Structure 1
Amino acid sequence: MEFGNPILNIAIFLAFVVVTLAVVIRVSKQNTTAADFYHGGRAFSGRQNGIAIAGDYLSAASFLGIVVAVQRDGLLYSVGFLVAWLVALLLVAEPLRNTGKFTMADVLSFRMRQRPVRTAAATSTLAVTFFYLLAQMAGAGALVSLLIGIEGRVGQSIVIAVVGVVMILYVMIGGMKGTTWVQIIKAVLLITAVGVSTVWILALNGFNLSAVLGQAVDSHPDGTTILEPMHQYGESGATKLGFVSLAIALVFGAAGLPHVLMRFYTVPTAKEARRSVVWAIALIGFFYLCTLVL
């Protein structure tokens, strides 16, 4: 299955890679110390860091997966992922920034025994990142393969490997400064695309949400049943417990993602760390509101 002209899609994809690599190479020239490489010299404002956090957090899983999850399981995922940022705002952002460290292991070992704490932190970080990365890379590879018209498991595997190499180049060349600007670009493009798509869908239906739902019912083979409460949670004690368990995992798990936590080290003050979370909440909240329409 192909979307549009594969040659045009490839050209756009390559142009995007070239532009972002050029940005990364340019900002990498400002990396003169370890502090510049690992946390961007703490030179980013709260607004810039908040946009980058939104870019880090919002992904193919959010753009595609949450849309399906809302239809299947209701608003649990959208609400859970958004509420997690209140935890980050109230409990995480300021204490992390005040430590002045590079990594989560540095923070945890600040008042504890160095070796066991660092071992545990490194193990948990690698485990979380590995499984998170599997889903992200698979999603990115599938999307790129779809856009450029590549079919078959071997072709998609090659695309995933190429995307992975490009991501590694971003990090190796630009450090935290380079990846931050890449995430800012990604966030602007993704949120703009979601916003435009949402307005377009509403405009086609006279900005009437009931008409949008009616069109969804008419086009879906299950008809009105797609608007009924889902049966995965709430019918028995076990499913209710599963609902609570998933909600806790979404709130505290999302607030503790390693690649998100490290962003709080890139701002100069604790006030800017809190400000970056406020910006992230606003952008992510807007994104998830749009997914309700999509």
Structure 2
Amino acid sequence: MSGSKTLASAALALAGLGAMAAAHAAGGDVGQAAKQSTNWTAIVMFGLFVAGTLWITKWAAAKTRSAADFYTAGGGITGFQNGLAIAGDYMSAASFLGISAAVMASGYDGLIYSIGFLVGWPIITFLMADRLRNLGKFTFADVVGYRFEQPPIRMFAASGTLIVVAFYLIAQMVGAGQLIKLLFGLEYWMAVVIVGALMMVYVLFGGMTATTWVQIIKACLLLAGVTFMGFMVMAQYGFSPEALFAKGVEVRSQIAANAGKTPEEAAKAGLSIMGPGGFIKDPISAISFGMALMFGTAGLPHILMRFFTVPNAKEARKSVGWATVWIGYFYILIFIIGFGAITLVLTNPEMSDTVKGVIKGGAGTANMAAVLVAKSVGGDIFYGFISAVAFATILAVVAGLTLSGASAVSHDLYATVIKKGKADNAAELKVSRVTTLALGVVAVVLGIAFEKQNIAFMVSLAFAVAASANFPPLILSILWKGCTTRGAVIGGFMGLISSVGLTIVSPSVWEATLGNPAGSALFPYSSPALFSMIAGFVGVWLFSLTDSSARAAKEREAFAAQQVRSETGLGAAGASGH
């Protein structure tokens, strides 16, 4: 009962925040109001969505009585529901806002995100879905550490999870901040704080049940929205992709001509959006970037966690099948919407500087390309709808991320390492909620610091860390008998440290974010995955192979029992753990 009252108080506080924001945008700051008029349609829809999801959170809070309810919704989600929720989790701000902005900026090269994000799913379908469900309980560390010594593997898994979650959260917070700024006419930092507050309410009170239903509703709304947008963009060009692309080339050529290029150079610049090379400059970067997106999917803790919400391995497989269908369909439409941004937004003087070919409002507003396409094809009402859906997208993903970060601390570190598996439910949930608050504060601070980054690119860095740190020990622990605790932990940390270190000294962070002079980055490539993922795999293999301890011998013997359970599900009935 007290939880419901607290939730009601939180809802009132957030409603007050929204009201103050609207008042501020409408008249509190004349300069800001002139810069960005308040869109009341969008604000009303935004308010309706927030009210609806807070009601879901209140309903879920009443059902969240145990750690299993909080982390995995009690294992009672069906395959179809979970497939939609996975799609809702995966179709993030990076996908909807970031990829469309990347396509608008680089054309064909923006497709590398869509394809990279999508092709990781067959790996999960054929190699991991059944085994994850059969071996795991709450987190992916349950799977990696099934036959290993618990403290070291849990400490590594929690470290990897928290760093991936932090990188991923940055992208979502930047997208949310730009969106609320556009909607309310607010200062960017205030927008990020509002999103952080809402996110904490969802996770603190509703856990995985609320998060799942917010993700399902958001997936349905987003798929409906992008379907309409894709249809309306194609309708402008007689449903001819060729006509759409030709117009995009023409617009880009004109922008190049405006910049003082010769007619030949302008024509070449226009055609460049129909081929590779505009975004990724060399083969090593392309391979590294592709590896990060492809294998990172199979190492994302908040995606892997979703496989523990279904009752059995059959439903886990069904989840992946449905998720792949929805995500694939979505990415096809995002490419069309990205070209729609070139032809409809960059030619509209109200939205863009048509001479320079950039959206008005500064560097970060490039991420708003998809939202402005919605305004171009559907007017203010549809613009309001898509803005609310984009916000729902961000909230749903942020809630899932926060939940996986909280579970890494409370389940992997507190319950398993500190309390040695003897923590009671109430204490574990309390630690989880404190971690949620801490993650919320970190997300807000980092979201403000990385304001001007392309959010699809920020997520690609999270994928690089997931591919290098989480994927090697996870896949080798379930497929290779020789894998040991020492190998998994040292190899995992090698992948984690090298991926984070190379990311920091790469041009994207060293120069673009930290402000060091151009050409001063110590690592020349935008993505570290080719190097750091190899370091992870070699580390797991080498340190397992050279491990001749008595413990390692027992771990190798235990592989047969693990394999039986992972392949058949024997001993993994219902939502029980091991």
The answer to whether residue 86 in structure 2 is matched with residue 18 in structure 1 is: no
Change (3 A) 1:116 1:273: same
The answer to whether residue 161 in structure 2 is matched with residue 125 in structure 1 is: yes
Offset at residue 74 of structure 1 (A) = 4.7
Offset at residue 231 of structure 1 (A) = 2.4
Give me the whole-angstrom Cα distance separating, in 1, the residues matched to 2:279 and 2:136. 42
Residue in 1 aligned with 2:41? 8
Residue in 2 aligned with 1:159? 191
Residue in 2 aligned with 1:266? 309
Q: Is the 8 A contact 1:233 1:243 kept in 2?
A: no
Could you report, residue by residue, the CA deviation over 1:155-174 in whole angstroms, capped at 9, with x for unpaired residues? 21121111111111111111
Q: Is the 8 A contact 1:50 1:278 kept in 2?
A: yes
Give 3-state SS (helix, strand or coil) of 1:115's partner: helix
Give me the whole-angstrom Cα distance separating, in 2, the residues matched to 1:85 and 1:168. 29
Q: What amino acid is the match of 1:265?
A: F
Which aligned pairs between 1:134-149 and structure 2 lie closer than 5 A? Answer: 134-149=170-185
Give 3-state SS (helix, strand or coil) of 2:127's partner: helix
Residue in 2 aligned with 1:207? 239
Q: Is the 8 A contact 1:145 1:156 kept in 2?
A: yes
The answer to whether residue 220 in structure 2 is matched with residue 174 in structure 1 is: no
Match of 1:240 among 280, 283, 287: 283
Q: Is the 8 A contact 1:55 1:183 kept in 2?
A: yes
Q: Is the 8 A contact 2:130 2:316 kept in 1?
A: yes
The answer to whether residue 90 in structure 2 is matched with residue 51 in structure 1 is: no
Residue in 2 aligned with 1:114? 150
Give me the whole-angstrom Cα distance separating, in 2, the residues matched to 1:131 and 1:100. 25
Offset at residue 233 of structure 1 (A) = 7.6
Comparing 95-104 with 223-232, greater Cα deviation is found at 223-232
Residue in 2 aligned with 1:281? 324
Offset at residue 138 of structure 1 (A) = 1.1
Give me the whole-angstrom Cα distance separating, in 1, the residues matched to 2:184 and 2:272. 32
| Larger RCO, structure (CA 8 Å, separation 6 or more) | 1
Give me the whole-angstrom Cα distance separating, in 2, the residues matched to 1:125 and 1:35. 19
Residue in 1 aligned with 2:275? 229
Change (3 A) 1:256 1:206: same
Give me the whole-angstrom Cα distance separating, in 1, the residues matched to 2:42 and 2:178. 14
Give me the whole-angstrom Cα distance separating, in 2, the residues matched to 1:179 and 1:48. 12
Residue in 2 aligned with 1:185? 217
Comparing 32-41 with 189-198, greater Cα deviation is found at 32-41
Q: What amino acid is the match of 1:143?
A: L
Offset at residue 232 of structure 1 (A) = 5.2
TM-score (norm 2): 0.48
Q: Which runs of 5+ in 2 are unaligned?
A: 1-34, 257-266, 338-578
Give me the whole-angstrom Cα distance separating, in 1, the residues matched to 2:211 and 2:102. 29
Comparing 222-231 with 202-211, greater Cα deviation is found at 222-231
Residue in 2 aligned with 1:41? 74
Give me the whole-angstrom Cα distance separating, in 2, the residues matched to 1:210 and 1:148. 37
Q: What amino acid is the match of 1:67?
A: S
Give me the whole-angstrom Cα distance separating, in 1, the residues matched to 2:56 and 2:118. 30
Give me the whole-angstrom Cα distance separating, in 2, the residues matched to 1:70 and 1:278. 27
Q: What amino acid is the match of 1:113?
A: E
Give me the whole-angstrom Cα distance separating, in 1, the residues matched to 2:244 and 2:178. 28
Could you report, residue by residue, the CA deviation over 1:104-144 in whole angstroms, capped at 9, with x for unpaired residues? 22222221111110110000100110011011111111111
Give 3-state SS (helix, strand or coil) of 1:75's partner: helix
Give me the whole-angstrom Cα distance separating, in 1, the residues matched to 2:91 and 2:58. 24
Could you report, residue by residue, the CA deviation over 1:190-236 in whole angstroms, capped at 9, with x for unpaired residues? 1111111000111121111111112222333245324442325887x
Match of 1:92 among 128, 132, 143: 128
Give me the whole-angstrom Cα distance separating, in 2, the residues matched to 1:234 and 1:146. 30
Q: Is the 8 A contact 2:177 2:188 kept in 1?
A: yes
Q: What amino acid is the match of 1:57?
A: Y
Give me the whole-angstrom Cα distance separating, in 2, the residues matched to 1:2 and 1:225. 34
Give 3-state SS (helix, strand or coil) of 2:335's partner: helix
Offset at residue 48 of structure 1 (A) = 0.5
Offset at residue 186 of structure 1 (A) = 1.2
Identity %: 46
Q: What amino acid is the match of 1:271?
A: K
Root-mean-square deviation (Å): 1.8
Offset at residue 60 of structure 1 (A) = 1.6
Give 3-state SS (helix, strand or coil) of 2:86's partner: helix
Q: Is the 8 A contact 1:28 1:175 kept in 2?
A: yes
- Aligned residue-pair number: 286
Give me the whole-angstrom Cα distance separating, in 1, the residues matched to 2:307 and 2:62. 23
Residue in 2 aligned with 1:27? 60
Could you report, residue by residue, the CA deviation over 1:267-293 in whole angstroms, capped at 9, with x for unpaired residues? 001010011011110000001110121
Offset at residue 18 of structure 1 (A) = 0.8
Residue in 2 aligned with 1:61? 94
Q: Is the 8 A contact 2:60 2:207 kept in 1?
A: no
Q: What amino acid is the match of 1:208?
A: S
Could you report, residue by residue, the CA deviation over 1:227-284 in whole angstroms, capped at 9, with x for unpaired residues? 442325887xxx2122111111111112211111100000001010011011110000
TM-score (norm 1): 0.91
Change (3 A) 1:234 1:31: closer
Could you report, residue by residue, the CA deviation over 1:36-83 in whole angstroms, capped at 9, with x for unpaired residues? 121011111111001111111112211122123345225222111100
Give me the whole-angstrom Cα distance separating, in 2, the residues matched to 1:205 and 1:234. 29
Change (3 A) 1:135 1:233: closer
